[in-house]
Structure 1
Amino acid sequence: MQVFKKKYWQLLMSPFSILYKFVMQFRNHLYDIEYKPVFRFDTKIISVGNLSMGGTGKTPFVEYVIRFLIERGYSNKVATLSRGYGRRSKGFRLANDHDLPQTIGDEPFQIYQKFKDHVTVSVGEDRVLAIPSIIYEHPENEVIVLDDAYQHRSVEPNFSVLLTDYNSIFYKDYVLPSGTLRESRMGAERADVVMVTKCPPDLGQDEMQIIRDNISIYTDKSVFFTTIKYKEAVAAMNRRQARKRIILVTGIAYAQKFKEYLSQERFEIMKHFDFADHHVFNSKEINAIERLAEQENADIITTEKDWVRLMSMPELGESFQNKLFYIPIMVQFLEDEESFHRILEDSIIRVE
């Protein structure tokens, strides 16, 4: 029944998708012929983005790139630039110790908390204006990593990474509003590499080849496969281990895989408070979560992105914090990680 409803919606919305597709193709054509201005910078630019709406794992991959650059000697020579989705501020802003998720967005705040001693973190809706501001304020930076910038054609990156979720690969999707694509599948040809994210850890070679063959219809660039590596639960306020009896709290695009991981780790989920991506928590919700945790003698487990939002709330009491844990995640390549490193180095580090 659900499949029928989806097919019916796609059919109903197809005229609007065709119109939107041609509008985006015309827009891309204007950038291709440089009728619309394209800006190039001496500072190396890495773009991480996707064709679709929703979560493909951009922030974990940006963090992966940051770690790679730091290991290659680029500590204090790297900046990140994001729009800062959900923030209450406007315009260009450099992150500092006084910022909160409300002022720069939850994902930039998460990156700042992890890498502030090594990386300049910034937000700004207009990349063309923000990049010169970063260069002016921090001329020591040699690389700028753009988060969610695949459709920002006004800036030409030196290296562009296209992410696509294994569970909804772009070649199976349709342009808005029939599907979730922001532009047609042909947009994949602008990428320097394609990264299939959130793959099952045991993805076989035969299926990898099928995916590569399908992607090759749209681009001849290298295709890599990654999965999510979950780490041990981290306590917000104490050093004890999390109880196995938990209340799950998420405000991310797709929480099912996270929920499945916790079940595999034998956590007993008494209730799942499942909010929309980038959800802004309020006092009523916090009180309800804490009451239930008390009643069930359970701890509260959340994602790292939700944790930074929760911990920034002044009304979050000590009792809640003592029950709160988060699960860090990292990107893990299934194979050919060194090949990706070489391609990235050739495009960014070794190019003078």
Structure 2
Amino acid sequence: MNLLRKILFPFAMLYGLITAIRNFLFDKGILKSYSFDVPVIAVGNLSVGGTGKTPQIEYLIRLLSPKYKVATLSRGYKRQSEGFVLADASSNAAILGDEPFQFYQKFPNIQVAVDANRKNGIEQLLSQSQKPEVVLLDDAFQHRKVKAGFYILLTSYGDLYSDDFMLPTGNLRESRSGAKRANLIIVTKCPVDLSIEEQNRIKRLLLCRNDKGINQELYFSCIAYDDSIYSENSKIKITEIQDENKLLLAGIAKPEPFFSYLKNPDDVCLTFPDHHHFSENDIREIIIKAQDSIIITTEKDYVRLKGSLPDEQLFYLPIQSSFLSDSENFDKTILNYVGTSTRNR
């Protein structure tokens, strides 16, 4: 904890009090939460950014979309539009935000919508002629106005909420006790060889009990990188370009693993803020530093950079969320919730 964050400790206490009062009012029904006659799964975290929500939402899409009509609903962070927007052929990253536009491009068989007001967003989705059978709420753990039927809480292996503190001293959006609202918890971005002993230690730290004292399911996942990079029209195996000079570019919360996976000592690495809007000056800087070498970026950055950099130079590296174990049990839990909710509608 740096000096400035220590100085801001009183503000963290005040922020914690405000969020605790807000949660109390929702828990007691003084502030109203709205439920819907459709399975709603909320994926979120207690901390700000960098826990792997996007690959987890994509995991759920792959799991559910073969059986159900799926819709995703996001806030659309830093988008240049307002209100409810349902993705269509005219959409782009500026209109939807980078992550929703990524969903739209990768999964054309689902509905992708954005609305800061999640209640209105769900109502708008359910008013469509093609109603979704499942709604996935992206980054909505603190959005108490909607009462989801199932909550998935994410926490990063290297930044567990049990070791963190409230903003602005730490990175928590609300108290650690908020984890009790989760139906299950996933520790993301784990080493692939995480030992059972370390998993048990983390389980003890997180406690993993809901507000009724019932044990919550706990899972451990890692980021699985693709073995190829992709451009608009081509695909290259990473082994073929591992030793070549290249420019690696990331505008995500925690880019170090992305760089480590691809980097050789002569590569140029450029880091930008999460959800960064690339200006003309940024584009010029990237082109100058890349020269004739290939440019590899993340999927999220690719949807914002596509069309601004030469297609033959710009590539992206896909990732997926992968469970270290018990993926079958996770899938069964989600499918049971959706199936039961659908039958009981």
Cα deviation digits, residues 274-311 of structure 1 (max 9, x gap): 100011112222222222222xx421110011011001
- State how 1:188-203 maps to structure 2 within 5 Å: 188-203=179-194
Which residue in 2 is equivalent to 1:207?
198
Instruction: Return the offset for 1:12.
Output: 1.9
Cα deviation digits, residues 171-228 of structure 1 (max 9, x gap): 0000011101000000000000001000011100000000011111664311100000
- Distance between the aligned counterparts of 2:205 and 2:25, measured in 1? 28
State the SS of the aligned residue for 1:346: helix
State the SS of the aligned residue for 1:137: coil
Are 1:100 and 2:92 matched, yes or no? yes
Q: Is residue 301–residue 326 contact of structure 1 (8 Å, CA) maintained in 2?
A: yes
Instruction: Return the offset for 1:138.
Output: 4.1
- Distance between the aligned counterparts of 1:325 and 1:39, measured in 2? 42
Which residue in 2 is equivalent to 1:332?
322
- Distance between the aligned counterparts of 1:39 and 1:134, measured in 2? 15
Are 1:322 and 2:305 matched, yes or no? no
State the SS of the aligned residue for 2:172: coil
TM-score by length of 2: 0.93
TM-score by length of 1: 0.91
Which residue in 2 is equivalent to 1:81?
73
Q: Which runs of 5+ in 1 are unaligned?
A: 1-5
Are 1:162 and 2:166 matched, yes or no? no
- Distance between the aligned counterparts of 1:51 and 1:139, measured in 2? 33
Which residue in 1 is equivalent to 2:50?
55
Paired AA for residue 270 in structure 2: F
Which residue in 2 is equivalent to 1:226?
221
Paired AA for residue 275 in structure 1: F
Q: Is residue 42–residue 151 contact of structure 2 (8 Å, CA) maintained in 1?
A: yes
Q: Which runs of 5+ in 2 are unaligned?
A: none
Are 1:69 and 2:64 matched, yes or no? yes
Are 1:300 and 2:295 matched, yes or no? yes
| Bigger proportion of residues as helix | 1
State the SS of the aligned residue for 2:223: strand
- State the percentage of identical aligned residues: 40
Are 1:291 and 2:301 matched, yes or no? no
Match of 1:18 among 6, 13, 18: 13
- Distance between the aligned counterparts of 2:133 and 2:266, measured in 1? 45
- Distance between the aligned counterparts of 2:232 and 2:130, measured in 1? 36
Paired AA for residue 336 in structure 1: D
Call closer, same or farther: CA 1:174–1:87 in 2, change over 3 Å: same
Of 230-239 and 200-209, more deviation after overlay is shown by 230-239
Are 1:109 and 2:101 matched, yes or no? yes
Call closer, same or farther: CA 1:7–1:323 in 2, change over 3 Å: closer
Q: Is residue 246–residue 268 contact of structure 1 (8 Å, CA) maintained in 2?
A: no
What is the aligned length? 333
Are 1:281 and 2:281 matched, yes or no? no
Which residue in 1 is equivalent to 2:340?
350
- Distance between the aligned counterparts of 1:217 and 1:345, measured in 2? 21
- Distance between the aligned counterparts of 2:79 and 2:172, measured in 1? 24
Call closer, same or farther: CA 1:239–1:258 in 2, change over 3 Å: closer
Call closer, same or farther: CA 1:11–1:292 in 2, change over 3 Å: closer
- Distance between the aligned counterparts of 2:236 and 2:72, measured in 1? 34
Cα deviation digits, residues 228-276 of structure 1 (max 9, x gap): 000021123434556332101111111111111113xxx4552111100
Instruction: Return the offset for 1:10.
Output: 4.1
Which residue in 1 is equivalent to 2:262?
262
State the SS of the aligned residue for 1:151: coil
Which residue in 2 is equivalent to 1:3?
none
State the SS of the aligned residue for 2:8: helix
Call closer, same or farther: CA 1:164–1:43 in 2, change over 3 Å: same
Paired AA for residue 91 in structure 2: D
RMSD (Å), alpha carbons: 1.5
Instruction: Return the offset for 1:139.
Output: 4.5
Of 55-64 and 11-20, more deviation after overlay is shown by 11-20
